[in-house]
């Protein structure tokens, strides 16, 4: 009777294992709003798309980066920030518009304001060399109205 019970426990117990993955590296990042776990080196990948949203699972992609978070509709000019990721200097470029009255605000991942300056012209250089590696946000404002928000990766 003990042998049958032991076989039953072993056979059912093996089906109760949680999800597992064999990977070369990984980690978990989080803040007060949530967390994300990731692995590097998985052998299986899947991409899911719904509308304008896409998520790729299964492997770490260092070449894919979302840089624009939000943008006010019907702007009569365009703004770009490059390079992203960056290690020392960012360039904020304004095309077909006037930089007068525009300012940028640099925030860390927790929403703490690091720097706030007026745009110097159609191209403004932003020094980030002194910042630790991580994610940052740059908001472009006209007065108190946020025109565009970029996510920046500091390497």
pLDDT at residue 128 greater than cutoff 90: yes
DSSP 57-101: ESS--TT----EEEE-TT-SSEEEEESSSBSSEEEEEEESS--TT
Tell me what percent of the residues of the chain surpass a pLDDT of 70.
Answer: 60
Contact 136, 109 (CB under 8 A): yes
- Domains, the chain, in order of start with CATH, read 18-57 (no CATH), 68-154 (2.60.40.10)
pLDDT digits (tens, 9 = 90+) for 63-93: 445 555 666 677 777 888 988 888 999 999 9
Rounded CA-CA distance 79/138 in Å is: 12
Q: How confident is the model at residue 47 (pLDDT cuts 50, 70, 90)?
A: low
How many of the other CB atoms lie within 10 Å of CB of 9? 10
């Amino acid at each position: 009777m003990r042998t049958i019970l032991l076989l039953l426990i072993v056979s059912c117990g093996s089906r109760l294992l949680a999800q597992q993955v064999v990977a070369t590296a990984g980690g978990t990042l989080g803040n007060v709003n949530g967390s994300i776990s990731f692995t590097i080196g998985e052998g299986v990948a899947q991409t899911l798309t719904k509308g304008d949203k896409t998520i790729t699972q299964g492997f770490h992609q260092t070449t894919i980066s979302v840089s624009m978070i939000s943008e006010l509709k019907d702007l009569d000019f365009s703004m770009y920030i490059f390079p992203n990721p960056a290690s020392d200097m960012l360039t904020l470029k304004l095309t077909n518009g006037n930089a007068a009255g525009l300012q940028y605000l640099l925030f860390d991942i927790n929403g703490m304001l690091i720097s706030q300056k007026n745009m110097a012209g159609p191209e403004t250089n932003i020094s980030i060399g002194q910042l630790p590696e991580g994610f940052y946000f740059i908001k472009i404002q006209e007065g108190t109205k946020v025109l565009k928000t970029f996510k920046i990766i500091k390497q």
